[in-house]
Amino acid sequence: MVDADDSHLVTERRQKAARYRSAGKEPYPWDFPGRVPTSEVRAACQGLSNGAADEARTLKVAGRLKIVRQHGKSAFLDLEDRSGAIQLFARVDELGEEGYADLLSVLDPGDIIGATGHPLVTRRGEPSVRVDSVVLLAKAIAPPPEKFHGLQDPEERLRRRYVDLLSSRESLARFTARTLLVRELRAYLDGLDFLEVETATIVPVASGAAAQPFVTHSNYLNAELQLRIALELALKRLLVGGMERVYEVGRCFRNEDLDTTHSPEFSMLELYWAYADYSDMRRLVEGMFARLAEVAAKALPDLPAAREAPELFRPPFATVDYVGELEKRSGIADLLGRSREELRELARTVGATVPDDSPKGKFMDKLFEHYVEPHLIRPTFVLDFPADTTPLAKRHRSRPGLVERFELFARGYELGNAYTELNDPDEQEARFKEQLSGRGEDHYALDTDFIEALRYGMPPATGYGGGIERLVMALCGVSSIKDVILFPPVRARSPKA
RNA sequence: GGGCCCGUAGCUCAGUCGGUAGAGCAGGCGGCUCUUAACCGCAAGGUCAGGGGUUCGAAUCCCCUCGGGCCCGCCA
């Protein structure tokens, strides 16, 4: 499959390149100046009636040759670039008997070519370029996937993403959309006077979440280092330092399994906003998603789920109370009044297998995941969580045992998480230690320097964090995280492959 | 970690009571000057993921390995 070197198709393509070369032409030339996007050709064809060419105008286009339809002494070649596709019309009349024959004998689907010619609308009404010359810009030695179905094998689509992209407009558009969404996200936050920062990815102790870190080694420090699992503690240090409004979009790494909504390597957005609380953050996040939904719809007009995003993400989003919603959906009364043993048994009934000594909130989370989460299709803010599973959030100003926290859900999964940030250093230290005493120390590391930072005074603030991949998935209606990560983690091919 | 499923030509896919491995696309040769997955004809293209076993005979049945998919569990 990959070992294309043995295929006669490769041999034939090499021979074509060699033939081209022996005719004094370069199959891999250095440039092709003056090309315009194919969209410009379509625009140039706007005023032309069927069968008419604009002889006064000469255009150059470049891109990948997708399909050749030969008719003896004329041929149609479909050329594709980032802006779309355009049909080339090549005839003996313009190219000459010899030139025409030489050209077609050297071209294959998949080749990168450049064409020079005149805008033409065919008798059938197709915008085209009637070419005076076509040159190879890069001979493709490997054959592209089948022209109609493209690359279907999910494994190959991940391992050779370039083939997926070059053969699937849909895939190219989806990944382009991801970039446009992140660009717009930055524009939104920049417009609100947030500062984008970059913090360390390689750190002495990964903290800010409870995931298993990747471990590495520094030759310089001669010490074990870890890859960050969250941005939170670094960004809050910046609030201490006076940056007031900061955000980061960056890779985080969690040494855990992957599924449709988790990947070991993923991008996170986190933002921190001084002198604001989680209610302010709700409005900000709502506005952000509403604005991004417009971008998604525009970027992926052919994808129904993306087209419907602006409607789905139209503010105001639904708001529900964490405990209240869970009690309502599960039919379980007085959750906060239940003992840990009762909650553990309830969690068991929904198939959860968490350690017996987990905090009560952990069992409630399992119930929430089972009874509530799958039903949260429309964007919904879930408010006010048990304190024992949220050590970085400030206790609720009026509801004992809870913290000021919301999570945003849509399409049945979590999109983001926000708190009114805990800024009391002594309480923070106590909460950390409480967390540590309960369970798996190897899952949680005490960042003493962070507590030290809080001692210098962090303004009251709110923070939000959410995965970029899930954001893209939700806005574009993509169901697997691998479809929004260009190069997801894959196993090395076995040596034999 | 558990369960189920998948791996056949460069690509997309057929092919189970076990009996010489098929099609379409792409590629080759020939024909065709307005096609749209162009069309028509001819010829070619295979370590059936890899290894082992059962059998007179294995793509097909069994076991192992590799890779992948889906579901569940785990991941505050």
For the domain that residue A71 is a member of, what is the CATH number?
2.40.50.140
Domain boundary among A90, A114, A144: A144
Q: How many CB atoms lie within 10 A of CB A415?
A: 21
| CB-based contacts of A482, cutoff 8 Å, min separation 6 | A158, A258, A263, A488
Tell me, yes or no, whether A71 and A172 share the same domain: no
Cα–Cα distance, A49 to A27 (Å, whole number): 36
Q: Is the CB of A354 under 7 A from strand B?
A: yes
Tell me, yes or no, whether A42 and A90 share the same domain: yes
Tell me, yes or no, whether A111 and A249 share the same domain: no
pLDDT, tens only, A440-454: 444 456 788 999 999
**A341 inside domain:** no
Tell me, yes or no, whether A169 and A59 share the same domain: no
Q: Give the CA-to-C1' distance from A171 to B8 in angstroms.
A: 27
pLDDT, tens only, A4-38: 455 788 999 999 999 999 999 999 999 999 999 99
Q: Give the CA-to-C1' distance from A92 to B33 in angstroms.
A: 8
Query: What pLDDT is recorded for position A4?
Result: 43
Q: Is residue A494 scored above 70 in pLDDT?
A: no
Tell me, yes or no, whether A16 and A109 share the same domain: yes
**Half-sphere exposure for A416 (CA within 13 Å, toward CB):** 29
Q: Is the CB of A405 under 7 A from strand B?
A: no
Tell me, yes or no, whether A111 and A217 share the same domain: no
Tell me, yes or no, whether A308 and A177 share the same domain: yes
Q: Is the CB of A104 under 7 A from strand B?
A: no
Query: What pLDDT is recorded for position A444?
Result: 55
**A371 inside domain:** no
Residue bearing the bigger pLDDT, A58 or A260: A58
**A297 inside domain:** yes
Q: Is residue A246 scored above 70 in pLDDT?
A: yes
| CB-based contacts of A123, cutoff 8 Å, min separation 6 | A50, A51
**A368 inside domain:** no
Tell me, yes or no, whether A298 and A408 share the same domain: yes
- The number of residues making up chain A comes to 497
Nucleotide nearest to A493 (CA to C1'): B67
Tell me, yes or no, whether A418 and A310 share the same domain: yes
Query: What pLDDT is recorded for position A434?
Result: 79
Mean pLDDT across A311-317: 96
Q: Give the CA-to-C1' distance from A443 to B56 in angstroms.
A: 61
Residue bearing the bigger pLDDT, A191 or A441: A191
Q: Which domain holds residue A313?
A: 165-317+378-484
Q: What are phi and psi of A57, to 5 degrees?
A: -115, 130
**A48 inside domain:** yes
pLDDT, tens only, A131-180: 999 999 999 999 999 999 899 998 899 989 999 999 999 999 999 999 99
Q: Is the CB of A436 under 7 A from strand B?
A: no
Tokens 């304190």 appear where?
A: A387
Bases in strand B with any atom closer than 7 Å to a protein CB: 1, 8-13, 24-29, 31-39, 45, 49-50, 66-76
Query: What pLDDT is recorded for position A106?
Result: 96
Cα–Cα distance, A320 to A381 (Å, whole number): 6
Query: What pLDDT is recorded for position A205?
Result: 87
Q: What is the CATH number of the domain that holds A438?
A: 3.30.930.10
Q: What are phi and psi of A469, to 5 degrees?
A: -60, -45
**A427 inside domain:** yes
Q: Is the CB of A14 under 7 A from strand B?
A: no
Tell me, yes or no, whether A50 and A172 share the same domain: no
Lowest-confidence pick of A66-70, A113-117, A276-280, A439-443: A439-443
Give me the number of domains chain A comprises: 2
Mean pLDDT across A456-478: 95
Mean pLDDT across A388-405: 93
Tell me, yes or no, whether A136 and A171 share the same domain: no
Domain boundary among A114, A144, A174: A144
Cα–Cα distance, A492 to A483 (Å, whole number): 19
Lowest-confidence pick of A72-76, A136-140, A177-181, A203-207: A203-207
Q: Give the CA-to-C1' distance from A258 to B63 in angstroms.
A: 29
Strands (E) in A28-109, as ranges, are 59-70, 74-81, 84-91
pTM, two decimals, is 0.93
Tokens 């030489």 appear where?
A: A102
Nearest residue to nucleotide B6 when comparing alpha carbons to its C1'?
A: A153
Tell me, yes or no, whether A263 and A169 share the same domain: yes
Mean pLDDT across A406-432: 94
Mean pLDDT across A208-234: 91
Query: What pLDDT is recorded for position A211?
Result: 84
Nucleotide nearest to A107 (CA to C1'): B27
Cα–Cα distance, A287 to A323 (Å, whole number): 26
Q: Give the CA-to-C1' distance from A2 to B45 in angstroms.
A: 17
pLDDT band at A357 (very low <50, low <70, confident <90, very high): confident
